Amino acid sequence: MQIQDILKRIIDLNASDLHIRVPNKPVIRKDGELITLEDLPPVTDEEARNILTQITNREQRIIFDEKRELDFSYNIQDLARFRVNVMWQRGSLSIAFRLIPFEIPTIDELGLPQILKDLVMRPRGLILVTGQTGMGKSTTLAAMVNHLNENASKNVIIIEEPIEFVHTNKKCIIAQREVGSDTSSFATALVHALRHDPDVIVLGEMRDLETISTAITAAETGHLVLGTMHTYNTAQSIDRMIDIFPSEQQQQIRVQLSQILEAVLSQVLIPRIEGGRVAAFEIMVATPAVRNLIRDRKVFQLNSVIQMGSKEGMQTLDQALANLVKSGIVSKEYAIAKAIDKEQFEKWLQYPSAQNNTKTLNT
């Protein structure tokens, strides 16, 4: 079983993921749905080990033997890159591939909210891109960095696990560090990035106390920090950042966040009626009212401010989903499954379409 042949098929099928798992047939994900490649035989333990040998070098296999799991990137020359995760399950290998195109899509090509262009040009502060795994956070971040690269002269340091989209210098100079091969951890890389004269720091994931604490410090000291979190909406993202700190520090963190946070972009991908997927965004911009609510422990009231903040480019996820349904882009069935407040979502369907910050995204 030659893995390159299978990977080329997922490109031809416009799929996003490939799963190799003993003793099953290969499975792809297309438009969010899992599809078994029925014409291929089940993967044997020997074939899975052979695939691992095809896509890794000796050093990577040593790391995998030690840690029992591995994240890395894999290239097919002149065709595509893949983010790969290998793990053990029930004593056999499971390998997941995520397609990453060589070409970095622009904000306009993806149909992302235009406010992202303004946000990424801000001189300092913290911008969070949040969502569950597989919801397009990395693609959104890459498009934002690409816009910055084409429109400003900045020193950008990107820390990922593994490196996904590869950026080339345009107006910016860009360094990309891969956790595991270029550095030992996000936190360590972030500390050293601050000594490298950065204007912008991009964190592939903010998931531990040390990384979040250093990111807050970096934003406070005049850097623009963009990071991702596996959270569903604005309130959950802010609460997660605060709750990771010891209780005696949390009020101080609230004050710091109220001063440095610039925006939270929470996204989900939903199947389009005509095929492909569309991104729906909750957009929170840090206005004085938002900053006051964060500082005063009233994060639970943020949703009301976001609902009323269309002039500042804000919208709730439920508003975005309702607009997609009313525009005939997605079905009500799929949209309501992603809605946070299903009753409120039904109400938004009855209102005239608000500013539409969400457009189609083919993945």
CATH code for the domain of 344: 3.40.50.300
pLDDT of residue 356: 45
Q: Look at residue 237 and tell me whether its pLDDT is greater than 50.
A: yes
Instruction: Tell me: do 121 and 173 sit in the same domain.
Output: yes
Q: What is the Cα–Cα distance from 314 to 355, expressed in whole angstroms?
A: 9
pLDDT tens-digit readout, 288-321: 999 999 999 999 999 999 999 999 999 999 999 9
Q: Which two tokens stand for residue 71?
A: 């994240």
Residues 6+ apart with CB under 8 A from 268: 131, 132, 135, 279, 280, 317, 338
pLDDT tens-digit readout, 321-348: 999 999 999 999 999 999 999 999 999 9
Instruction: Tell me: do 65 and 184 sit in the same domain.
Output: no
Q: What is the Cα–Cα distance from 360 to 113, expressed in whole angstroms?
A: 10
Instruction: Tell me: do 79 and 154 sit in the same domain.
Output: no
Q: Look at residue 363 and tell me whether its pLDDT is greater than 60.
A: no
pLDDT of residue 172: 98
The DSSP symbol for 8 reads: H
Residues 6+ apart with CB under 8 A from 193: 157, 159, 177, 201, 218
Q: Look at residue 361 and tell me whether its pLDDT is greater than 90.
A: no
| Residue 122: Cβ within 10 Å count | 12
Give the number of C-alpha atoms closer than 13 A to the C-alpha of residue 170, restricted to the C-beta side: 11
Q: pLDDT confidence of 355, banded at 50, 70, 90?
A: very low
Length of the chain: 363
Residues 6+ apart with CB under 8 A from 246: none
Instruction: Tell me: do 86 and 118 sit in the same domain.
Output: no
The proportion of the chain whose per-residue pLDDT surpasses 90, expressed as a percent, equals 88
Considering 100, 123, 141, which residue would you say is the last residue of a domain?
100
pLDDT of residue 133: 87
Instruction: Tell me: do 135 and 83 sit in the same domain.
Output: no
pLDDT tens-digit readout, 106-157: 999 998 999 999 999 999 999 999 999 889 999 999 999 999 999 999 999 9
Instruction: Tell me: do 49 and 134 sit in the same domain.
Output: no
Instruction: Tell me: do 71 and 37 sit in the same domain.
Output: yes
pLDDT tens-digit readout, 269-292: 999 999 889 999 999 999 999 999
The answer to whether the beta carbons of residues 220 and 191 sit under 8 Å apart is: no
Distance of CA 227 to the CA centre of its chain: 9
Instruction: Tell me: do 95 and 112 sit in the same domain.
Output: no
Q: Look at residue 354 and tell me whether its pLDDT is greater than 90.
A: no
Q: pLDDT confidence of 252, banded at 50, 70, 90?
A: very high
Q: Look at residue 357 and tell me whether its pLDDT is greater than 60.
A: no
Instruction: Tell me: do 193 and 46 sit in the same domain.
Output: no
Residue by residue, DSSP assigns 134-192 as TSSHHHHHHHHHHHHHHH---EEEEEESS--SPP--SSSEEEEEEBTTTBS-HHHHHHH
Residues 6+ apart with CB under 8 A from 209: 244, 245
Tell me if the pTM is above 0.85. yes
Q: Look at residue 258 and tell me whether its pLDDT is greater than 70.
A: yes
Residue entry with tokens 């890794």: 56
**Strand, coil or helix: 107:** helix
pLDDT of residue 1: 67
Instruction: Tell me: do 206 and 294 sit in the same domain.
Output: yes
CATH number reported for the structural domain that contains residue 24 in this entry: 3.30.450.90
Q: Which two tokens stand for residue 196?
A: 């490298």
For range 205-209, the mean pLDDT: 93
Q: Look at residue 43 and tell me whether its pLDDT is greater than 80.
A: yes
Instruction: Tell me: do 146 and 88 sit in the same domain.
Output: no
Query: Looking at the 3D structure of the chain, how many domains does it have?
Result: 2
pLDDT of residue 77: 84
Q: Look at residue 12 and tell me whether its pLDDT is greater than 50.
A: yes
Residues 6+ apart with CB under 8 A from 217: none
pLDDT of residue 102: 85
List, in sequence order, the alpha helices (H) in the chain.
3-12, 45-55, 58-67, 107-110, 115-120, 137-151, 186-193, 209-220, 234-243, 250-260, 288-295, 302-307, 317-326, 332-338, 342-350
**Strand, coil or helix: 310:** helix
pLDDT of residue 136: 92
**Strand, coil or helix: 271:** strand
For range 12-40, the mean pLDDT: 94
Q: Who wins on pLDDT, 354 or 62?
A: 62
What is the domain range of residue 63?
A: 3-100
Burial degree of 265 (CB within 10 A; 0-12, 13-18, 19+): buried
pLDDT of residue 2: 85
Q: Look at residue 353 and tell me whether its pLDDT is greater than 70.
A: no
pLDDT of residue 359: 42
Considering 56, 80, 100, which residue would you say is the last residue of a domain?
100
Instruction: Tell me: do 125 and 190 sit in the same domain.
Output: yes
For range 182-200, the mean pLDDT: 94
Considering 50, 67, 100, which residue would you say is the last residue of a domain?
100
